Amino acid sequence: MRLTYVAASVCACLGLAGCAASPYLEGADPRQPPVETTGSITRPAAATPPAATGLPLPQDRPRPASTAPGAAYAPLPASRPVLAAMTSMPAAPAVRRIAADAVQVHSRRFRDAKPINFGASSPSRLAVHGVDVSRWQGDIDWVKLRSQGANFAYIKATDGGDHLDPMFVRNWHAADAAGLRRGAYHFFYWCRSASDQAAWFIRNVPRVQGALPPVIDVEWNGESRCTRRPSRAQVLEKMRVFMDRLEAHYGQRPIIYTAPDFYRDNLRGAFLDHPFWLRAVAQHPSRVYPGRNWVFWQYSGSGLSHGVTGRIDLNVFHGNESAWRAWLARS
């Protein structure tokens, strides 16, 4: 999901990076831990299982009274309820869920401008492929993209606290109409408060049955006007605030998308109770993120497909067709 240099430059010139001029934490010293805390959503002590075994339903997840001793990252005591920031947010009307056992899996027919030989761990050995998109893919022919093997799509919705991807609404509806399972992702901006960003995502992304869990995209962006790099403790706390508020609103545990450098600096051993979507375009995730269970693998940023002009990110689900249908039924 990383912006290309050209894309980032255009974005900066046009002022489309909605978080560009946002404060880090209003009235706070960026060297100090953030004041945002949350503990209203408790979470299981066990790590998230591999996708092939199925993830628990949101309503079935165990909710102990407090985070178990020895957990990788325990939330600080809550200063206010998680739902406080969203009581004024109108809920989108629910739509009928598509039966999971009726989801047809299309075989992968994508090409790659820069193919990598992953050997015995090739993503082609996995059954359920998909894409992630943003405004930089332009006007997508979703029916053609579906026919090429796109079974799911994660669609850029927001970044920061005031930028909405201008293609989000069109992509959101068109992907669904073409029969893809779709979800939305938020590019997290380190110079804006987590609560502002959660409220902005909730304001723009409808709550509908059948949608994939929301995604928080956390990376270091060297081309951003925000040059601050918070400490690991600050990163984890800001992520926790954002994810707790999304989970309270959507009833789904958010997925964490990340890249190798950010993971190395901040996420090793953290958030064992959350599903991960991992970028690994040169080696299998097991070598880049040893010991980390994952649900989605972004294996290429140079995909080619009918229905899209230019390149597109390619992804795959960690499991077979039966595991995919079971995961959809639980998500």
Q: Which amino acid is at 97?
A: R
Q: Is 91 contained in some domain?
A: no
Kindly tell me if the per-residue pLDDT of 47 is higher than 70: no
Confidence category of residue 103, pLDDT binned at 50, 70, 90: confident
Quick check: is 99 in a domain? no
Give CA–CA dist 218/88, Å, rounded: 27
Q: Which residues are catalytic?
A: 132, 219
What pLDDT, on the 0 to 100 scale, is given for residue 217? 98
Residue 226: predicted pLDDT = 87
Would residue 298 count as lying in a domain? yes
Please report the pLDDT score of residue 161 as a whole number: 96
How high does pLDDT run on average in the chain?
80
Whether 297 maps to a domain, the answer reads yes
Beta bridge partners of 185: 156, 215
- Assess whether pLDDT exceeds 90 at residue 299: yes
Contact 40, 248 (CB under 8 A): yes
More confident residue, 281 or 68: 281
The whole model's pTM is what? 0.75
Residue 280 has pLDDT above 90, yes or no: yes
Query: Is the confidence at residue 83, as pLDDT, over 80?
Result: no
Summarised one tens digit per residue, pLDDT across range 206-254 is 999 999 999 999 999 888 888 889 999 999 999 999 999 999 999 999 9
Environment class of residue 203 by beta-carbon count within 10 Å: exposed (0-12), middle (13-18) or buried (19+)? middle
> Looking at residues 43-56, what average pLDDT do you find?
47
Token pair listed for 14: 């046009």
In a domain, 27, yes or no: no
Domain containing residue 165: 5-18+48-85+106-330
Instruction: Say which residue the tokens 């075989």 belong to.
Output: 107
Higher local confidence (pLDDT), 67 or 109: 109
Please give the tally of structural domains in the chain. 1
Contact 180, 171 (CB under 8 A): no
Q: In 3D, which of 2, 26, 8 has the Cα closest to residue 225? A: 8
Q: CATH no. for residue 186?
A: 3.20.20.80
Is 98 contained in some domain? no
pLDDT of 273 reads 95
Assess if residue 159 is contained within a domain. Answer: yes
Higher pLDDT, 293 or 95: 293
